[in-house]
Structures are given as C-alpha cells and as structure tokens.
A and B are shown apart, each in its own frame.
Chain A
Amino acid sequence: MAGRKKIVPPGEAPRVIDQGSVWILVAAPSIWAAHFLLSYWVAAIWCAKLGRGTPLAEPRWIIAGLGVLCIAAIVGLAALAIRRYGGVFVIFEEITESSERARDRFVGHVALLLCVLSAAAIVFTVIPGMVLGQC
C-alpha cells in the first residue's frame, strides 16, 4: 500500500495473501461453486437453445470433464495443505498452541477437510449429468 511511511506498526504488510494463508480456506469450495455454476449454465443454455428432448451427450462430457479437472485442482490444494501447512486429517484435533506454526497447521487442517467436502460435492453434481440422457 502507498500509505506506509515512517510509523510502521509491527507486521503491517498485507500478509493475508502473500503468506499464502487464508485463501486456501475458500479455494476448494470456490472450485466447487465454479464447477456447479458452469455445469448449470452449460446445461441451461444447451437445453434452452436446442429445446426439450435434445440429447445431452456433449454437456455430459463437459460436466464430467470439468469435474475431473476440478477434483484434480482440489487434490493439488489438499497436497499444498498437507505439505506447506502441515494439515492432518484427524477427528480430535487439538491445535490450540499459540504459535504461527499452529495457526498454519489449523488452517491446513480445515482446508484439508474442506477439500474432501468440496470434492464430494462435485461428485454429487456430476452424478445427475451421468444419469440424465436428455433435456
């Protein structure tokens, strides 16, 4: 920011993004949201422009292909959450230590859980695309 001159409070820099910290919490569900909206739009436009009863062959593959891509991206995020943040998949988490490392591990842990949830939700979205054959 342009506003930094003489008085520098301790640790003022916009660390939210640069230290790669909280964005990872919303990244996986955002990928779900993007996949969901794209699938909806592709199918809606396809069916609106081509009419009822049109076979869904192409949209199905677009939806499934996008799903695979998105899940791959989420797997990447999960790997990042594990490697960089030290996220672990445990039920009884006790990451209550007051340190930067503990904060990172907490974020990594929650991000990992969100990756699992988002990937499952994407699979939920792909299923109807596989089941329904026409508009």
Chain B
Amino acid sequence: MTEEIDLSKLPPAEPYDKARDEAQRARLMKVWETPTGWRRISAVNNSSVGKWYLLTSFAFFTFAGFLALLIRAQLAVPNNDLLSQSLYNQLFTLHGTAMMFLFAVPIFEAVAILILPEILGARDLPFPRLSAFGYWCFLIGGIFVCGSVFFGVAPDGGWFMYAPLSSNPDYSGLGADIWLLGLSFIEVSSIAAAVELIVGVLKSRPPGMRLNLIPLYCWYVLVVAGMILFAFPPLIAGDLLLEMERAFDWAFFDPDRGGDPLLWQHLFWIFGHPEVYIIFLPSIALIATILPTFAGRPMVGHSWIVLSAVGVAFLSFGLWVHHMFTTGLPEISLSFFSAASEAVAVPTGIQIFCFIATMLVSKVRRSVPMLFAGGALAIFVFGGLTGVMVALVPFDWQAHDSYFVVAHLHYTLIGGMLFPLFAGVHYWYPFVTQKRMSDRLGRWSFWLMFGGFNLAFLPMHWTGVMGMPRRVWTYDVTDGWAVLNMVSTIGAFIFAAGFVVLAVNVLWPRGKAPLVERNLWNAGTMEWSAEVPDKPWGVRSIPYIHTRYPLWEQKELLGEMDRGEWFLPDAEEGKRELIITDILDARPLYVQRVGGPSYLTIGAAFCLGAVFILATFHLWTLTLLFGAGFVGFTLWWLWTGTSEIPEKPEKPAGRGLVLPTYAQGNSSPGWWAVFITMTGDMTAFMGLVFSYFFYWTALPDFLPGAAKLPGFGWLLLGLALLLAGWVTALAARERLAGGSTGQAMGLLVGGVPLAALGIGAWCWAAWSAGLDPTETSFDATVWVLILWLGLHLLLDAVMRLYVAARIWRGRCTPRYRADCVNLTLFTHFLALTAVVTFALLALFPMLMGGM
C-alpha cells in the first residue's frame, strides 16, 4: 500500500497562467456542454435532469392540487351534485396518489439531484445516466397514472388501495391495475434515485470532507435514500401479490381461499409510514441548510440533528400499525406501535429545538425563505401535536377515518414538507437561474398560502370530531357540517391563489433582469461557489474541504477553485471526470469517468414504461416484446458506457496527486450500487417472507398436510443445483483474476443451465404436489416465491452472458474486471434468496409438521 496522503500538506499550486486557465476552461466547457435544441432531451447532467424533475413534480402537484379544489367545491354545500360519486372517488384517490407518489417523493429526488453534487463540490453524481433514466420513468409513469382520469378509469379505491376492494375485479376496474402497475414503475425510479444518492453521499464527497464535516443536507439525503431502500420494496412485494390476484386469480387476499386482506394493509403501511418521514426529512433538511445562512452562524447541535435524522429513520419503521388501530389486532400489538409513535416525537422534537436554538443565539436576517421556514415550523408543530393525539389508541378509535385525520395529515405534510420546500424554492432559485425572485410576490404568496391553509384545514379538526368521515362524497344539511365545510372550501381557494402567485413568481420570464452576485445570501455551503454566469461543469476544480461551512471558513477557497488550483482542473482526455473518495475521511481513491448525453436511457425508460402500461391491459405478447426492448437498450447502455478500460492506468489529478483511472470491488461506485440495489431487492423478498409468516400466524391451517407439501428430495436437488450455479460465478471470478479468460467464460455460461435445472426441479416439486396458486394462499405463496427466484435467475442468465461477452470482446480483462466482480456480488444475494426460499418451502413445514 502506498503512503497515506496528507491533503493539508500538498505541494503548492503552479503559478497562475491566464492562457492555461483559458485552455482548461475551454476543454472543460466542451466536455460538459449540454446539447442544445431538441437534442437537449439526451442531456444527463444533474443540472438539466434536476430541473426537469423539479418542474415535472410541480406540474403533477398543480394537477393534484386542482383535483383538491374540485373535491372542496363538491363539499362546499350539502347535497351537492357537482361531481358524480364515481368521479369523486377517482378524484380523491388520484389526489392522494399523485401528491404522495408523483410529487412528495420525486421532489426530494429532484432537489437532491439538482443541489447535492454542488453542495458536495462535485461535478455530477456518480451515475448521471441512471438519474436520467429515473426521470424518464417518472415522467412516463406519472402521465399514465394521471391521464387515466380523462378516460374515466382512474383508480378509485383510496390512495392506499385496500383489499378486498382492490383485489376483487368485480369491485374495482382498470383503475386498480393502473395504480398498481403505474406506481410500481415509478417506484423503480425512486429506487434508482436512492442508489444514486447514497453512492453520491458516500463516495463522491470532495477530498477532505470527513464524516464530521458532511453538511447536514447530505446526512439527510443519505438517511432518506436509505429509508427508501427499505420502505419501497415491501410495497413492490405487495403490488406483486395484489396484481397476481387481480390478473391471474392467485389466492392472496381472498378469505374464502385462505387469503387475508389485512396482509395488504401490513405491506402497504410498512411502506406507508416510513414514507411520511421520507417526505418530511428532506424538507426539514432544506430548513437545516437555509437557517444557518440567515442566522449567519453554524447550526446549533449539528450532531444532534444527525442523531435525530438517524433516530427518526429507524423509529419510523416501527409505526406502521398505527394506521391499523381499528382492525381488531390484539391490544398488546397496538400498544407497541402506540409507544413507538410517541417515541418518534422525541428525535423529531430535537430537530425543531436545534432550529429554535440557532435562531435564539443569533440575529436572524429577514427574508422570504425564512418567512416560509417559520411558517413551516408553526404548522408542523401543530400537526405534530395532533399526531401525538392520534398515536394514542383510544383517541384514534374515535378519530379514525374522520376529517380529524385529514386535518392532521395535511398539517404535517404541508407544514413539514410543502412550506420548507417553498422556502427552498425561494432560496435556491438564484442558484438555478442566476436571477432573483420578487420578494414582494414572495410575501404575498406566503401570507395567502399560510392564511388559506389554516382557514381550510383548521376547521376540519372540528368537522372530524363532529363525525364527518373521510372520503365522503356529500352530506346532509342536518349533519351540521355545512358552515365549516364552506369555510374550508374558501380557505382552499385562497391557498390556491397563493400558489398561483408563487408559480407566477417562479415562471415569470426574467430574460433581461440583471444576474445576481455570486453567493448572494452569503451562505457557507459549497453550492454557492458556482460562478455567475453558471458553467455546466459544476466546479472549475474540485476543492479540498476541511471545514463544515467552507465558504465561511476557507476564505481563499473561491479564488483557488476559479484559478484551477485544485483537483481535476482540466479535461485533457475529453472525458467527464469525477473524484471518488473513501467513506470515512473522503481521501481521493480514483478518477471516475461518467457517461455523457445519451438517448439510450430514454429508450430503456420508454420500453420499460410500455411493459408496465401494456401489462395493465393484459397485452402479453407486446409486453414481452417491449421487455426484450428494455433489456436490449439497457445492455447497449451498459456495454458502451460503463466499466470502460482506461487508456492509461493512472493520471495526475493536480497538486502532485496521481490517481488510478479504474477501480473494481468495493472501491468502485458500481460495486456499491449493486450492493445497495440488492439490499433493496432483499427487502422486497423479505416482504414475501413476511407474507408467508403472516399467513402462518393468522391462519390456523396455513400449512397443508404432508401429501400437499412439495417433495423434499426435489427441493434439495434444486438447491444443490442453484448453489452449484453460484459456485461457478465465484470460480469464474477467480479464474479471470488468474488470467484464464476461457475458463472464466465457460464457467459463467455453464452456470446458466445449472440454474435452469435447479429452478426446474423446484417447479416440478410444487407441480407434482398439486399446488395450484388459485386454490389456497399456501399454494399461491409457494408459487410466488418460486416465481421471484425464477425472475432473478433470468436476470442472472442475462448478466452472465453479458459478462462472458465482455470477456470475449476484451472489455473485461484479468486486470480490469469490475463487471465480473459485480456479477459475483449479485450472485451472493441470489444464493441467499435460494437458501431462504428452501427453508420456507422445505424446512419450516417439516419442522412444524413434526411438532
């Protein structure tokens, strides 16, 4: 191992040379240039993709907000018939669905993609094409789900789609399929973004930015992306079960066949409650970034905020049953979740106290962002307090499914998410556009929204306590809710007027307005180091960071960066380059080359979108065709843009630092991406395992008699074959490292038939035992576990052939073998899946039968 580098003792930069600086700038400009005209859609740069993501999310927000106004118009007076009941059901379902899945979560990704690399002083995120792919998936899926309302087939089962209303095609039409498949597709883009952001925070930090120096925003992004990874997959598992029941009549939720509708509620809320915090934390992160700027000092209790972010992330996974207090679960179970729901208020409160303390010990500058931040805290604290109320089981039994809950959730989401986001819009608008928003319009929009919001939602606490149920289409004048509903409707329209003012303020063309000065708020975080006018390269040279607020505490930094005195000031080879650093101390590890503009990601997203959309209409042949198209585009993208063998093994990165140009194993971001993706994948699998044990717990006769169990011998044979397949991957990695490319290819390809025979043996075991997934929940669970593994083996086969082809074409060599190492990592997870599945199919029934 080479000597440790001490970044604080690097040789001084070369003296400034104007001609060199200009030549370097020209080369960087050429490499990082964003395509113009219609070719712009092929851009993958985080500033372009982030902007599209943001605008698209706000478009869906506007759409969902318009639906809310229709809902309020319908409820304004008693016995109203403005909307039909069927349309009303579609509107509230789509309102909730779009706000949660098409606005609240994507906007986190949008903001993070836009500002995270700049806060990290990085040129871009480690997988720019993955961001672009995620964006296109989001756009296509979102239009599909929202567009359904114009054909009268929008989902109408409520945003949480409870079974059996949603599982029985007699009760719910195409809308439920659109919801399931459309959202599964959008979940793909969320997980893609999560992988990108986790690797970004862990590996793309600027040299020197140790764990104790990471900005709070980045901690939150890391925590939230981690939460997405554990929260979304159970819903994907649930979607799979529900769609299998809807499309192929598999028995998961039908009590007559040993199914249980409560399983859906569990899977949904294991996702759904962390989701609330997935939405809330990134917005609070915006306040945590804005507040120090206007307080003019570092955040009080930096580490306490890190504690509360991590603490909330964990505790939020222990709250899901508090949405199910009225389902008849044993009281002891309810009280565990009630206790955890109270406990989560502790770390949440700590953050708020840190904010208040920071404001108390400093003289806060007045500004529109701070106005929104203050409004956010006021509304959120109110919503948090009603949250503590509904976390108490007896109170919840009274308030459940009433307008009290509607009021509570809007106070938390609008206070905890929307207002901080608007604060962020006003704060970062000059960063994105280099122009200033109108402060006067900003204040108008704030007071209209703040007043309108409270007018709309405060009365709902009373309508709820007076007995008005959620989702009710209309009511009678004798119910006594008429006046309060009218007040709420008026408030909603005032709120909407405030949003219109804000939208005008954002979208107003400011072509001739003067550019803002650099770092106009006098902030301490790195994103404000951007030059004015902005350049596409992110940072002129990647700086060495040794403080928490570099722009305040490293006085010379801006000049040094601008003169190209730090790392990678040039792009001699004409490639987009980033520095990858280590997780703990951000020591530079290697220079990563990332892909530039590409249509392949759009092609892949389009084909995958078509797969989900066509599956909704059960057009299976076309679905398969587009599935093949998706695989084709993805392989093409990987083949041409990833793990490229560098033209030289290392290069000077500036200031005497020489860094490798290739990495494999756990120093490469690709390895981490596979690891993180597969962690999410295992979580989805755990959702299926949970379902198995849920049935076993809830149903007295879930496990059938010995005659109906899959044959042990066949299962054991299958497992042996599957594990042999795994061993071929390990051996291939070792042979390749040893230089035997031929053997490595043979082992990789030879593993494919082994896996096919293995899963074949399992299918035969289930088939010969007469298991029919449409008959009982046990049969359906066995088949879905086999199906899950089968799909993964299919992916495994594609990857093996791909890596073998890479070896054959000399793109994966004994020295540069990241592809093969990553494939082996994937097979570790596959082997684990096979072993757990075997335990569920063979060992557990045997153990229980013997008892």
A residues lining the B interface (CB < 8 Å): 1-16, 19, 21-22, 25-26, 29-30, 32-33, 36, 39-40, 43-45, 47-49, 52, 56, 59, 91-93, 95-98, 100, 102-103, 105-107, 109-110, 113-114, 117-118, 120-121, 124-125, 127-129, 131-132, 135
Contacts and interface: CB of A to CB of B under 8 A. Distances in A.
B798 interface: no
18 contacts: A2-B665, A2-B821, A3-B817, A9-B588, A10-B5, A13-B1, A26-B314, A30-B314, A33-B314, A36-B336, A48-B698, A96-B212, A96-B213, A96-B547, A106-B303, A120-B343, A124-B342, A128-B339
5 interchain residue pairs of minimum CB distance: A128-B335, A106-B212, A1-B665, A98-B546, A29-B314
Contacts of A91: 301, 304
Q: Which interface class (under 10, 10 to 19, 20 to 34, 35 or more) fits B?
A: 35 or more
A39 B340 CA distance: 12
B632 interface: no
B380 to A, nearest CB: 20
B588 to A, nearest CB: 7
Contacts of B548: 96
A8 B1 contact: yes
B562 interface: no
B212 A102 contact: yes
A128 to B, nearest CB: 3
A21 B585 CA distance: 11
Contact of B667 (A9, A29, A110, A128): A9
The residue in B301, B331, B342, B664 that gathers the most chain A C-beta atoms within 10 A of its C-beta is B331
Q: Is the interface of A mostly helix, strand, loop or mixed?
A: helix
B733 interface: yes
Interface stretch (B29-37, B305-313, B756-764, B780-788): B305-313
A11 to B, nearest CB: 5
Interface string B568-590: 00000000000000111101111
Contacts of B666: 1, 14
Contact of A10 (B211, B318, B587, B821): B587
B567 to A, nearest CB: 13
Given A10-B588, A110-B310, A121 B667 contact: no
Given A22-B584, A113-B304, A47 B333 contact: yes
B821 A11 contact: no
A50 B491 CA distance: 52
A128 B664 contact: no
A12 B1 CA distance: 8
B666 to A, nearest CB: 5
A113 B582 CA distance: 25
B4 A11 contact: yes
Nearest to B696: A45
A95 B5 contact: no
Given A22-B583, A40-B336, 4 more contacts: A3-B817, A19-B584, A26-B314, A93-B304
Nearest to B821: A3
Given A8-B1, A12-B589, A96-B212, A125 B332 contact: no
Interface of B: 1-5, 8, 208, 210-213, 298, 300-304, 306-307, 310-311, 313-315, 317-318, 329-333, 335-336, 338-340, 342-343, 346-347, 546-548, 582-585, 587-590, 649-650, 659-660, 663-667, 697-698, 733-734, 737, 815, 817-818, 821
Given A2-B737, A40-B336, A98-B546, A32 B314 contact: yes
Contacts of B660: 7, 9
Contacts of B821: 1-3
Given A10-B4, A11-B4, A129 B332 contact: yes
A67 to B, nearest CB: 12
A127 B213 CA distance: 38
A14 B818 CA distance: 16
Contact of A117 (B212, B307, B587): B307
A132 B2 contact: no
A131 B212 contact: no
Contact of A44 (B208, B213, B303, B330): B330
A22 B211 contact: yes
Contacts of B331: 132, 135
Contacts of A93: 301-304
Given A48-B698, A100-B585, A135 B339 contact: no
A56 to B, nearest CB: 6
A111 to B, nearest CB: 9
B330 A135 contact: yes
A114 B310 contact: yes
Contacts of B547: 96, 98
Given A2-B733, A48-B697, A25 B310 contact: yes
B650 A29 contact: no
A127 B339 CA distance: 8
